[in-house]
Structure 1
């Protein structure tokens, strides 16, 4: 995994919402995206398992 360049990070401006409500909305949105990614990843794993099973049945 690549490491961060601390000089670059130090020069990069980060905008942080001042409103705690806005921060909570952003956190909720990002959590919802993470949940969707997890759900899709699980679907992909199930489909790959299904595909392997079908291919095994085809060549038995």
Structure 2
């Protein structure tokens, strides 16, 4: 279980680097708005803002 969780985080980090290279880092993949800096400070590989993350659950 823990190995799977670590592998997922590594995939998320790789995806964040890809978004950074593409110029899309920090933009919510749900609504397209900027992800608040405070969220990115806590979770640098965040794909979505908090409201969109909750909608996906």
> What's the TM-score, normalizing by structure 2?
0.40
> What's the TM-score, normalizing by structure 1?
0.38
Could you say which structure has the higher helix fraction? 1
